[in-house]
Amino acid sequence: MSGTLLGFDFGTKSIGVAIGQRITGTARPLPALKAQDGKPDWNVIEKLLKEWQPEAVIVGLPLNMDGTEQPLTARGAATSPIKFTAASGSR
């Protein structure tokens, strides 16, 4: 296991990306990805997964500041795990 983690924070216009290392307990941002109405270019995500080969992928849950769900919350929760599984080749 590599100990590498890849994190995504979905937004309607951009998607934050970070890479982390379990061994050092550190994380650093990668360039944000463009999104169209909260939808990423899955080819770019697939490229990141192949490049970094993470042990795990962490997807942030988009919530309002008061902790309540927003429209993007339900969309992301319903589709992101399926899309990530497909993009990663079901590793």
The pTM for the full model equals 0.76
- Which of 54, 49, 55 shows the shortest CA–CA distance to 86? 49
Task: Please name every residue paired with 35 in a beta bridge, in sequence order, or none if there are none.
Answer: 40
Question: Each residue of 24-64: pLDDT tens digit?
Answer: 999 999 999 998 877 888 899 999 999 999 999 998 887 88
Q: End-to-end distance of the chain based on CA atoms, in angstroms?
A: 12
Kindly state the average pLDDT of the residues 66-77. Answer: 75
Number of structural domains the chain divides into: 1
CATH number for the domain spanning 80: value is: 3.30.420.140
Domain that includes residue 67, residue range = 4-87
